[in-house]
Each structure stands twice: as C-alpha cells, then as structure tokens.
A and B are shown apart, each in its own frame.
Chain A
Amino acid sequence: MLGDRRIPDGGEVMAMTETRNRDEIYKTDHVTSIWWIVAAPAVWAVHFLASYLTAAIFCAKFADSDRSAGEVQLAVMAYTVVAIMIIAGVGWSGRRRHRDGHDRSPHDGATAADLRRMIGLSTFLLSLLSAVATIFTALVFYFVGTCH
C-alpha cells in the first residue's frame, strides 16, 4: 500500500496537531482567535448603533427648539476615539500574528502556524475596513450638526 508511507495515520494526525500546539508560544491562541476575526467589525457595529441610537433618541426626545445636536457630536466623538483605539489594538495584534516568522502570504500551509497567520491577516484587514467605516460614520457628525 503506497499510501501508508505517505499519509499520516489517525494517531499521527492527532499527534501532529498536539505537536503543533507545543510548538506554538501562544498555546490556545489560534483556538480563540476566530473571535479575533469578527472583533473589529463588531466594534464598528457597536459604534454604528451607538451613534445612530444616540442621534435618533436625542433628536426625537431631547432636541431644543433650535434643533442643534452639539451634545450628540461630542458623544460620537468620544465613541469614535474609543472605537478606533480598540480597532487599532485588534488590528495590531492581527498584523503581528500575520507577520509571525516573517512569512508572506498566502499562508496556505497545513500547519498551525499558517492558520494563525491567515487568521491574523484577516483580522488585520478587517480592522482596516472597520476603521474606515467607523471614520465614515464619524464624518457624518462633522458635517451635520442639527436634527433637521
């Protein structure tokens, strides 16, 4: 049987993954890191909802007769600073894992290291997109300052 030499058997596959884990500095890192992929867009979502709800509720319930929304602008500025900081943190950690071992894309090896790098890359790229989308939301409050 030709295949027996080449294909790792079941025990080996399990063992290989065990070894991979031992090789890694961050032992459980890649298991939890799937959540890293969605972390940055989730921050965008929270920022987006918070900005929308603040504006909508303020304009519906609390706006003065001159309809100015200065308080909302301040609040959203604060949200934005916090959101961008978190996104930057997530993105930086993603980029660090993506560049781990100075390996370049496409990260398509059957190793735990490449898995980590790929998830790192996706995390990093999604952070960039989320940052842009968050800034887009914030721009609205720069240009529009009333409840009209």
Chain B
Amino acid sequence: MSFLLIGDLSQSTLDPAGHGAAQIADLFLWMLGGGVLIWLIVVGLAVYSVVVPGGHRPRLTKTLVIGGGAVFPTLVLTSLLCYALAMLPELHRPPPEASLTIDVSGVRWWWRVGYRTGENQRVETANEIRLPVDQPVEFKLTSEDVIHSFWIPALGGKVDMIPGRETRLKLHPNRVGTFRGVCAEYCGTAHAQMAFDVLVMSQADFEQWLRSQKRDASEPSGRAATAGRELFHRKGCGACHTIRGTDAGGRVGPDLTHFDSRLSLGAAIKPNDADNLRRWISRTHDVKPGVQMPAFERLNQDELDSIVAYLEQLN
C-alpha cells in the first residue's frame, strides 16, 4: 500500500505501522471489495431495467425483492457484524499490567505528554511522543479545556479526550518510523493546527531517549545563549513554560526542558529550526491563529537571536 503514502508526513491509515491499524486496514480492504461488487450488481441491475424494455415476469421480480433485497443483505450484514464484533474485545482489552503508560492531555491547541517512569514519577514533554517498537502501550487521555480527540492514524484508531473523564487507548506499534498524530475532534480556532510527532524506535533507542528526557535542562553555553536564558526569564516566559533545573515553572504552556530534541514546534506545524522559531516567537498568531501565547513583536533582532540560541541548546 506504500503508493498511497503520497506525502512526506506519514498520517495515513492505509500504511499501518501498528497492530490495530493493520487489522482495520485489512477490514477496510475486504469491505471495499465487497462494496464495489455489490454496487456493480445493483446499479447494473437498475441500468438493465431501464435500458432493456421491460415486461419481466412478476414471479422473477418477487424472488429478486426477497432474495436480493432481504435475504442476501441480511446474510452479508450478519457475517460482517460477527467479524467486527469478534475484533472488539481484543481492541478494547487493556495491555498487560507492566506496559508502558503515557498520560496525554489535550489543551487548546497542543498536547501535554507525561511518561510514567515509576511510582509518582513522571517525565513531562509536549507535542511529541516516542514509543518503543513491538511493545503494547496504553495512553491515558484527559482534557484540560474542551473535547479533543487523540489520533495516530498509522498506529490505530482514535479516542476522544473529554473534560472530567479519563479515556484509554491501547496501541501496539510494529514498525520503526516517524508518524504524525492529530486532533480529530473540532476544538475551536486552531483545531487544524493541533498535531504531534510520533517516533517509533528500537527498545534501546527509546530507553536512551527516556533517560535523556529525565535529566534537567542543560546549562547554556556561549554568550548569546546565556543572554537568552536571562531574557527568557525577564520577559516572563517562565510564567507559562517549565524548564526543569531553572526558575521557569509555568504550567500553562508546553514544557520546554528538552525543546530542541523535538522535531517540530507549535504542536507539530513547522519543522523545529531557527527561522521557524524566530517567526513563532515574534509573529505567533500569523503562524497559528488563536494560540494563547502572546506574540513578542517588540523583541529586537539581537534579543530574538539570543532567545533562539538558548532554546536551541535545550536538547
């Protein structure tokens, strides 16, 4: 099915990289085949009835109504129903006890991600999820404001994030690669720009990454970056963002402790490079309308450069 992977970003349900998605893609192809066949027969019959001048025997048509209209669909639907129902328990069964558990909560319009690393221990990140290959993983999904929906098309189905509830989703990636997840439930102005990156990696790579995420932020090196850290605090960025190991401890916006390790910014809407970062900080609402962060239009070029230099060292 790789020809269907037209874009650079992999967000396709037809190019599955997980058990659930693969099962569902198979199911779809079967239904598609059956559907095409049924459509051809019914429409062919309708066209025939008009093109070939009528006068067909009533008894034949009676058989047609009973057989084609009632009995055949009932049989087809019954088997489809049984097939689909048989899939349900497995899709809904929670993964084994010790499986990796990740908390994700939807916030307008980004994702707060927390890895449970032990009793009461949590590593927080945002807008990017890394998973070990061939391991079942359970997501615990919540929302901090409106209803969102958590969806990684390549790995499996979606589940909504609803205020006041915790919903669960089990996924089981089986192929290393980079994929894209999106919010599937309309959630307001920037709904279209609420995405995240998903990296499925080998067990060893994943563990190494998780270890690196547990660490506090690295000290800035170089003048620009040091000035950048200073500016970051002076401009009050820490009121909304957390950078572990510094005074910045805000919870309103995404955790930036390892910001530079992420592939993209703005909830996976632009590649994470210096130019995009500059634009994001100074003209935030042009990049993503409706976003809560104020645009820092007043920063001069030097200031902007130093903040960017600082953030780029948070790896």
Contacts and interface: CB of A to CB of B under 8 A. Distances in A.
Contacts of A145: 89
Contact of B81 (A136, A146, A148): A136
B203 interface: no
B246 interface: no
B74 A143 contact: no
A144 B88 contact: yes
Interface string B66-99: 0000100010001001100110110011100000
Interface residues of B, number: 12
A29 to B, nearest CB: 27
Interface string A129-146: 000100010011011111
Given A144-B85, A144-B88, 5 more contacts: A128-B70, A136-B78, A139-B81, A143-B86, A146-B92
Interface string A105-148: 00000000000000000000000100010001001101111101
Contacts, number: 27
B103 to A, nearest CB: 19
A3 B239 CA distance: 93
Contacts of A146: 89, 92-93
B88 to A, nearest CB: 6
27 contacts: A128-B70, A132-B74, A132-B78, A136-B78, A136-B81, A139-B78, A139-B81, A139-B82, A139-B85, A140-B85, A142-B85, A143-B82, A143-B85, A143-B86, A143-B88, A143-B89, A144-B85, A144-B88, A144-B89, A145-B89, A146-B89, A146-B92, A146-B93, A148-B89, A148-B92, A148-B93, A148-B94
B7 to A, nearest CB: 35
B171 to A, nearest CB: 15
A24 to B, nearest CB: 28
A29 B224 CA distance: 94
Interface of A: 128, 132, 136, 139-140, 142-146, 148
A95 to B, nearest CB: 14
Nearest to B86: A143
A133 B81 CA distance: 12
A139 B88 CA distance: 13
A98 to B, nearest CB: 14
A148 B88 CA distance: 10
Contacts of A136: 78, 81
Nearest to B92: A148
B295 to A, nearest CB: 45
Contacts of B94: 148
Contacts of B82: 139, 143
A148 B159 CA distance: 14
A58 to B, nearest CB: 16
Nearest to A125: B70
A136 B88 CA distance: 15
Contacts of A142: 85
A46 B93 CA distance: 29
A124 to B, nearest CB: 12
Contacts of A140: 85
A18 B47 CA distance: 48
B162 to A, nearest CB: 15
Contacts of B70: 128
Interface in B114-147: none
A100 to B, nearest CB: 20
